[in-house]
Amino acid sequence: MPHSRSKPPRGPSTSRAQMSSRSTTGFRLRRMTNDELRRATLYAGVMLSLHCMAASAEAQDDAIREVLRSRVEALRETGRLDIRGSRIASVIVLPDLYERRGFRPAWRDARTSEQLVRAIADAAADGLDPRDYHQALLERLRGEVAASGQSDAALLADYDLLLTDALVRLGYHLMFGKVDPERVDPNWNMARQIRGFEPALDIQRMLDAGDVYQALEREKPGHQVYAGLKRELARYRQIEAAGGWPLVPAGPAFRVGVADARVPVLKRRLEATGDLVRQGHDTSTRYDSTLATAVRSFQARVGLADDGVLGEGTRSAMNVPVGKRIQQIRLNLERGRWVLHHLDGTFVVVNIAGYSVAYVRDGRTVWRSRAVVGLPYRRTPIFRDSITYLVFNPTWTVPPGILRRDMLPRLKRGGVRALPEGMRVLNRSGRPVDASRIDWSAYSASSFPFTLRQDPGPQNSLGLIKFMFPNRYLVYLHDTPSRELFDESARAFSSGCIRVERPFELAQLLLGDANWNSDSTARATGTRRTRTVHLPRPVPVLLLYWTAWVDDAGRVNFRPDIYQRDVRLARALDEPFRFRTRPVVTPPR
């Protein structure tokens, strides 16, 4: 029928026609199943939720950034910012970091902040105090952040700022030490030069890399002395936790072969510090050769004559409390942070408290000798310089300090007889004058018109050789005719200079020339003529003060604090955190 043709097609043929007509678009339309419709609805809901969450997170970030901006600007303007009762110490690096970041939070990665919290706890192993790095407050705020569900912008900003300040504080202490050395020694001249040091950029790189803990580990001195002191600090803290060591009672000196009821106590004392291998349940009261060997080990570690006799001096050293030894190790770890970063491979080092001098070549100690240092009231200064030349058969010109304190008072009492052998009196023109005709009482040190100079020779106060590193203290290393002083266990006898027991061995090492050997140096000194020999290149010399260190055999050594430097350093180390008032990095020359 005509009308039937004019009706729209229906049925399967209609679907195929419609599908065919849309085939050129690449789409195929069909009816969605109920499962597909539910999944599509769910997907749309998730996407909407994520969009809302992103918008919410962006709003939250904006709120945190606004708080950070406000806090940082207040710090910039006033130089002070307190958060929950804790002072922000980093008034330069912290603002610089956040300004560079556009005030975005720095600690959004929880793993990174956990690394810092771990590093703060581990600072105790370096002899530092985790409380200096907001430890307790950070723990509390971390709990508050977790409880708040990340919704409190002010709390998150405060937590972020405290983490950053803690990082700056800890990194600063590991790189330079907590205590400003100039506070305990105004002569300090060992500031380090660090090129390309930009703390804010370094922190940003650290955060980007996500290796905060390892980065802080790299800031610690890599020297074996530092590592050894850390190991011994842990060991001595274990000894303290176990109750310390027993006190050895007073009584007669122990010598091999005697029996004494105190021997079991002595064994436990020596076992505690590893000087004696544990014997198990040994109740013998006889002081035998094994015990004497252990006592000699202990005596050597504390700087006593290692004769194996347990006298009052040895007993007193054994009874020093473990807490004091722990404190000594802590103090010398701090000294390590001052000087053990990036040392020259080759140098001469004097340990004033240890009465020793050593030569280090390519990072390894190749020579060591006993030394005599300044009296407690004429202290050898601590500083760094470079040995540039040696003088064979030196003359000795009495310096102003020794003239004022020693020589002139002696001359006023004893006249010309008080002049040392070979000492001449010179006028301002450098010509000798008759010392017997001088009225010494007419002069003070400030008005003294003469120079006192001792001629070269075996009795010269400087001996037969001196090592020169010209400095304002008029201090140097030298030989001495007073050889007997090297046999003393405590050797603080000089007026400030360092007397070296085996100076010609050191001279040969410094000259580094096969032509300079024992025969050639003997010939040079045998002439009695003064001769100056310049080193091929200057060699750094460090005059340091260590009351605890680990020796080449891995044993911890302790020495008395002869100049009372530990006392001042201990007070400063236990004070609250503060930055130094002067730069710790020397500018490039």
Query: Could you list the active site residues?
Result: 478, 497
* Dihedral angle over CA of 562, 564, 565, 568, nearest 10: 170
Please, what is the end-to-end C-alpha distance for the chain in angstroms?
109
Round to whole Å and give the CA distance between 370 and 373: 10
- 10 Å Cβ neighbour count for 278? 11
Question: Residue 426 — φ and ψ, nearest 5°?
Answer: -115, 145
Task: Give CA–CA dist 436/444, Å, rounded.
Answer: 18
What amino acid is encoded at 490 in this protein? A
Calpha distance 146→138 (Å, rounded): 12
**Residue 500 in tokens:** 């070296």
Residue 86 tokens, joined:
């804790």
**Look-up of token digits 């021997």:** 263
- CA distances 255 to 208, 271, 287, 295, 393, Å, are 65, 19, 7, 11, 46
Cβ proximity of 17 and 9 under 8 Å: yes
CB 208 within 8 A of CB 308: no
- Indicate the Cα dihedral angle 360, 363, 366, 370, nearest 10°: 40
CA 102/CA 242 separation, integer angstroms: 52
CB 585 within 8 A of CB 194: yes
DSSP of 74-139, one letter per residue?
HHHHHS--EETTEE---SSHHHHHHHHTTT--S---HHHHHHHHHHHHHGGGGT--GGGGTHHHHH
State how beta strands 498-500 and 477-478 pair.
parallel
Sheet hosting strand 423-426, strand order edge to edge: 396-397, 451-454, 423-426
Q: What is the C-alpha to C-alpha distance for residues 181 and 214, in angstroms, rounded to an integer?
A: 27
Give the contacts of 244 (CB within 8 A, at least 6 positions apart): 272, 321, 322, 323
